[in-house]
């Protein structure tokens, strides 16, 4: 594959948003983590993103013309999984009787783009566990 502007536009560069609020007012700065000298500034997030895209295109085009090395995004290894044990007890009060519910989790996994949950007789969000505690 030819490494041209179209190629570099398809790479997964990670963006970092830096909201600013100073004497000139509120505005947004967005930059590329791997190439912090490429950034965009705007009164709104959309304006900042448009400025970033323009700066990216200009910088990459210049680097290609001048033969300057262009950094590519770092590829992170597969996300790591973590297993934890959570114990909780929830007391539910009803007019009929007090009912104690408790559960011990077997495994909680957290990976990029997934929801934390625990395994028991039914799936329950970790947030639900925390609210119940």
Q: How far is CA 96 from the centre of its chain?
A: 46
- Global pTM value: 0.56
If you count them, how many residues does the chain have?
Answer: 133
Closest by CA to 80, choosing from 39, 102, 41, 112, is: 112
User: What distance in Å separates the CA atoms of residue 79 and residue 119, rounded to the nearest whole number?
Assistant: 20
Cβ neighbours of residue 4 closer than 8 Å, sequence gap 6 or more = 64
User: What distance in Å separates the CA atoms of residue 67 and residue 41, rounded to the nearest whole number?
Assistant: 27
Q: For the segment 9-32, what is each residue's pLDDT rounded down to a tens digit?
A: 999 999 999 999 999 899 999 999
Q: Please state, as a whole number, how many other Cβ atoms lie within 10 Å of the Cβ of residue 28.
A: 20
Domains annotated on the chain, with CATH: 5-66 (3.30.160), 87-132 (no CATH)
Q: For the segment 52-106, what is each residue's pLDDT rounded down to a tens digit?
A: 999 999 999 999 999 999 999 887 666 666 666 666 555 545 444 444 444 443 3
């Amino acid at each position: 594959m030819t490494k041209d502007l179209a190629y570099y536009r398809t790479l997964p560069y990670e963006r970092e948003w830096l909201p600013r609020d100073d004497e000139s007012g509120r505005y947004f700065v967005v930059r590329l983590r791997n190439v912090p000298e490429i950034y965009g500034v705007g009164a709104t997030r959309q304006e900042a993103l448009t400025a970033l895209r323009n700066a990216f295109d200009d910088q990459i085009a210049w680097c290609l013309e001048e033969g300057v090395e262009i950094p590519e995004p770092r590829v992170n290894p597969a996300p790591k999984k973590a297993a934890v044990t959570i114990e909780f007890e929830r007391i539910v009060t009803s007019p009929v009787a007090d009912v104690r519910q408790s559960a011990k989790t077997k495994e909680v996994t957290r990976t990029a783009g997934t929801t934390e949950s625990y395994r028991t007789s039914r799936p329950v969000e970790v947030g639900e566990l925390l609210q119940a505690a």
